[in-house]
């Protein structure tokens, strides 16, 4: 379903950034977490968002995904200023987030996790909560989705609590592909994973881009940035301190931007 949506939109927005953040500022008490930060992401592009701990990466992405609200600045989707007041708003606008803590429901199955909050159900004239679940449709779509992404899980009817870290990470990333129509934000998706599991997740990130999504990838891993990101944006102490196309040769330059040396 996301592929269809991507095609419909891509004609009109070839060069225009699908997501633009302009002059974003956010203050927590006396701490200025974000200070006049602007970034842009286009369709089919992966932007690496880099920075040391406390640089403002998570704050910026939480503002985009509706967890926090900006104190000043604007978020533009396809060029139009958009108010994002809640995570539900963000999801409705086509922005998916893979949180660092995964936000998975341990007591639900992978399929139930995929459709949490957006269950396929009917009839449409009933209020959302009172609709009847279309379990078979959701199961079928789950199977297709996992096959497309080449994710293999031991069982689809077992709860997520029983699955390994890599499998859980794959489920969380795969969930974002179900409904992503414009932007996907991944907050350190490989932080706790081994080599092979990381590889699987990176392939998923590439798949998200290939679907036509604009991808924001937060990571500390320079190898991953060089391999996947089309551009890298560096934050330090709430400010944007640099932006460049990451290659094997300027890795050192990136690192010095991050640490400010």
148 is a site residue for another protein (CB under 8 A): no
Candidate list 3, 31, 116, 244; residue touching another protein; CB under 8 A: 116
Find where tokens 């708003």 sit. Answer: 89
Among 7, 69, 152, 247, the residue binding another protein under the rule CB under 8 A is 152
**According to the binding rule CB under 8 A, does residue 108 interact with another protein?**
yes
Residue 125 contacts another protein per CB under 8 A:
no
The reply to whether omega before 123 is within 30° of 0 (cis) is yes
Under the binding rule (CB under 8 A), the answer on residue 51 touching another protein is: no
Helical segments of 11-124, H only: 57-64, 87-92, 110-114
Q: What is the DSSP string of 147-186?
A: HHTT---S-SSS-GGGS-HHHHHHHHHHHHHHH-SSEEEE
Q: Does residue number 176 form part of the binding site for another protein (CB under 8 A)?
A: no
At residue 202, the 3 state secondary structure works out as: helix
Which one of residues 20, 34, 153, 235 is an interface residue with another protein (CB under 8 A)? 153
**Shortest separation between residue 162's beta carbon and another protein, angstroms:** 5
Shortest distance, position 193 Cβ to another protein, whole Å:
9
Which CB atom, from 98 or from 222, has the smaller least distance to another protein? 98
Give me the least distance between CB of 191 and another protein, in Å please: 15
Among 23, 79, 194, 260, binds another protein (CB under 8 A): 194
CA distance 176 to 115: 10
4 binds another protein (CB under 8 A): no
Q: Which of 12, 129, 249, 252 binds another protein (CB under 8 A)?
A: 129
Q: Is 117 in the site for another protein (CB under 8 A)?
A: yes
Q: At what angle do helices 195-210 and 165-179 cross, to 10 degrees?
A: 0
How far apart CA 212 and CA 187 sit, in angstroms, is 19
User: Three-state DSSP class for 88?
Assistant: helix
Which of 32, 178 has the CB closer to another protein? 178
Interface stretch with another protein, choices 5-13, 77-85, 123-131, 203-211 (CB under 8 A): 123-131
**Rounded (10°) CA dihedral 196, 52, 188, 44:** -100
Q: Which of 5, 39, 44 is nearest to 23 (CA)?
A: 39
Task: For another protein, give the closer residue by CB, 196 or 248.
Answer: 196
Tell me the C-alpha distance between 92 and 65, whole Å. Answer: 10
Q: Applying CB under 8 A, does 97 fall inside the site for another protein?
A: yes
Interacting residue ranges for another protein, rule: CB under 8 A: 65, 67, 86-88, 91-92, 97, 99, 103-108, 112, 116-119, 121, 128-133, 143, 146-147, 152-159, 161-167, 194-197
């Amino acid at each position: 379903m996301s592929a269809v949506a991507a095609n419909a939109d891509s004609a009109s927005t070839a060069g225009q950034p699908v997501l633009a953040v302009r002059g974003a500022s956010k203050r927590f008490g006396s701490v200025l977490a974000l200070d006049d930060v602007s970034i842009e992401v286009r369709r089919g592009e992966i932007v690496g968002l880099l920075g040391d701990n406390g640089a403002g990466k998570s704050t910026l992405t939480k503002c985009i995904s509706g967890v926090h609200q900006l104190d000043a600045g604007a978020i533009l989707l396809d060029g139009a200023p958009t108010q994002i007041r809640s995570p539900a708003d963000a999801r409705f606008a086509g922005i998916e987030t893979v949180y660092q803590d995964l936000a998975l429901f341990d007591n639900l199955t992978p399929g139930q996790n995929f459709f949490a909050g957006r269950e396929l159900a009917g009839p449409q004239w009933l209020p959302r909560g009172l609709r009847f679940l279309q379990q078979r449709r959701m199961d079928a779509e789950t199977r297709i989705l996992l096959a497309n992404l080449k994710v293999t899980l031991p069982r689809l009817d077992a709860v997520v609590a029983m699955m390994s870290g890599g499998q859980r990470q794959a489920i969380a990333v795969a969930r974002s592909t179900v409904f992503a129509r414009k932007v996907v934000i991944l907050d350190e998706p490989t932080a706790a994973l081994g080599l092979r599991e990381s590889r699987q997740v990176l392939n998923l990130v590439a798949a998200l881009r290939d679907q036509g999504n604009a991808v924001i990838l937060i990571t500390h891993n320079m190898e991953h940035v060089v391999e996947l990101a089309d551009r890298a944006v560096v934050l330090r102490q709430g400010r944007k301190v640099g932006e460049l196309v990451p290659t094997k040769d300027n890795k050192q330059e990136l690192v010095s931007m991050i640490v400010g040396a």
